[in-house]
Amino acid sequence: MKTTHSFLAMKEKKEPISMVTAYDFPSAQLSAAAGIDILLVGDSLGMVVLGYDSTVPVTIEDMIHHGKAVRRGAPETFIVTDMPYMSYHSSLERTMENARHLMQQTGSNALKLEGSGAVIEKIAALVEAGVPIVGHLGLTPQSAGVLGGFKVQGRDASKAQKLVDDALAIEAAGACMLVLECVPHQVTKLVTEALTIPVIGIGAGQEADGQVLVYHDLLSYGFHHVPKFVKQYATVSHDMVRGLKQFHEEVKAAHFPQSEHSFTMKDEEVEALYG
Ligand code: KIV
Ligand code: NA
């Protein structure tokens, strides 16, 4: 099992880190079989698995349900789980209890929290309590409503500087890694050079220490909207619909099942049955 130390060493050696989201037993098994370094039980599951139009409706219970299945599918892989919408914004006590449930029930190796500001002190308290924390800056989908949609962040110099400052504050609070989403590649370069901890980019260019994509996006699994920054490495929906359609048609035409898909009895048993 890789550790936060392994990822620091990979950054130092300039060995890129691969991360992909996983939401259930098969997605975890397949990603582990592919040798992916880190699995993220992303709250993007609200959109690509549960069919909501944002990550806002996702609950702690949803994250636990999916996180447990991911751990069963990838027992040897470093797993990061998202703390969902508003689960780390009220009291410190509520935040700590939510984090405890997520860590103990899913067997994750780290939790991810979006944003800066008041979130920084939550990160510091969680790390103090022994919870490895991944930060998330740039486009933070849980606050898409406040940001005015799913848009590129940090495009002007002052906003870019704020991102660098926030990233440094997250590192200073003790985070072990940072996800940087949908920012100009020049900003990614600045942040990546400024930090000791690995920066994992998504829609953030090549200069990050690693890359993450959403499982369903990179495999083209499902008919959801896929952002511009995604490269599609497979088109599984196409194959799946073709297979399902063929099954449907063969059932209608009584071509499935054939004898090789059926069970049979010995002749004497059939005789005894029918007399
Ligand atoms: O939930 C998610 O999939 C994420 C990644 C996009 C980083 O947070
Ligand atoms: Na997320």
Q: What is the pLDDT of residue 275?
A: 78
69 and 189 together in one domain: yes
Which residues does ligand 1 sit against, CB inside 6 Å?
A: 21, 40, 42-44, 82, 179, 181, 202, 212, 214
On whether both 36 and 89 belong to a single domain, the answer is yes
Q: What mean pLDDT comes out for the span 73-98? A: 98
Which pLDDT value is given to residue 88?
98
Active site residues: 181
Q: How many domains does the chain have?
A: 2
Residue 111 sits in the same domain as residue 124: yes
Distance from the CA of 152 to the center of ligand 1, in angstroms? 15
Q: Is 66 in the same domain as 150? A: yes
Q: Are residues 121 and 208 in the same domain?
A: yes
> Does 146 share its domain with 246?
no
Model pLDDT, residue 139: 98
* Structural domain boundaries, residue 76: 4-234
> For residue range 135-160, what is the model confidence (pLDDT) as tens digits?
999 999 999 999 999 999 999 999 99
82 is in an annotated binding site: yes
| pLDDT tens readout for residues 157-191 | 999 999 999 999 999 999 999 999 999 999 999 99
193 is in an annotated binding site: no
41-61 residue pLDDT tens: 999 999 999 999 999 999 999
3-state helix vs strand vs coil in the chain, percent to 5? 45, 15, 40
* Mean pLDDT confidence for 245-272: 97
Distances from the Cα of 42 to the Cαs of 23, 28, 230, in angstroms?
7, 12, 16
Q: Are residues 264 and 174 in the same domain?
A: no
Q: What is the ipTM of this complex?
A: 0.99
